[in-house]
Structure 1
Amino acid sequence: MGIQDIIEGKKQWRAHMARVKALPPDYQIVYKEIQKYFFKVGPIDLFDGSLLTGIVDFFEEGVAAGKGVLELIGNDVAAFCDDLVKDSRTYAEIYQESISGKPGTAEK
């Protein structure tokens, strides 16, 4: 990863966060909780950017439709997050496989 890649990544992240800050306060609070949850759970595809960007797109559509954030995702933020990544591998799963001692299960 070169310096240009790092700079471009920062620009994209700042643009992403500017979109989040343009959301109503209740949406921002829920987005930050979702972000914290995903950073803890660690879905592998989180860092390609499409998951969090898709959530912001979904939230922007909800705002445009005049819906509250809880109307969109329900009352349980963690359940909403789990449903989004239910078919994705997580770093926690990879770690568990690596320490389980099963040959050939750990990714290299």
Structure 2
Amino acid sequence: MRIRDIIEGKKEWRALMARVKALPQDYQIVYKEIRKYFFKVGPLELTDGTGLLSGIIDLFEEGAALGKGVLEVTGSDVAAFCDDLIKDSKTYADIYQESVNQEGDKAIKKVTDITK
């Protein structure tokens, strides 16, 4: 990654955070919790730029402009809203699980080969 890419990434991030700060307080709180949740769960789209988070901000801006409360936009179960957004996405947890499974398969194969 070049310095220019890092600088551009920071500019994009700052622009996103400025949009979040312009939202009503309840939207800001829910957005921060969603972001925290995604950073824990680790959908790969978060590393491909800011598309997923930017899309959520777009949705929140539309809801706020229509005078809706944030839970009218997300539903009362915000975690389910998040899970639904990434249900078809690969996560870091998925990649880790695949690597663990592969290592386990290799170990079982070795044991099987030794005992033959």
For 1:5 and 1:84, the matched residues in 2 are separated by 27
- Matched residue count: 103
Q: Name the % identity.
A: 74
For 2:22 and 2:47, the matched residues in 1 are separated by 22
In structure 1, the residue matched to 2:53 is: 52
Q: TM-score, normalised by structure 1?
A: 0.92
**5+ residue gaps in structure 2?**
107-116
Q: TM-score, normalised by structure 2?
A: 0.86
Report matched runs for 1:1-108 at 5 Å: 1-48=1-48, 49-101=50-102, 102=105
**5+ residue gaps in structure 1?**
104-108
Structure number with higher helix proportion: 2
Q: Which runs of 4+ in 1 moved over 6 A?
A: none
In structure 1, the residue matched to 2:113 is: none
Structure with the greater alpha carbon radius of gyration: 2
RMSD value, Cα: 1.0
User: How far has the Cα of 1:47 moved from its partner?
Assistant: 2.2
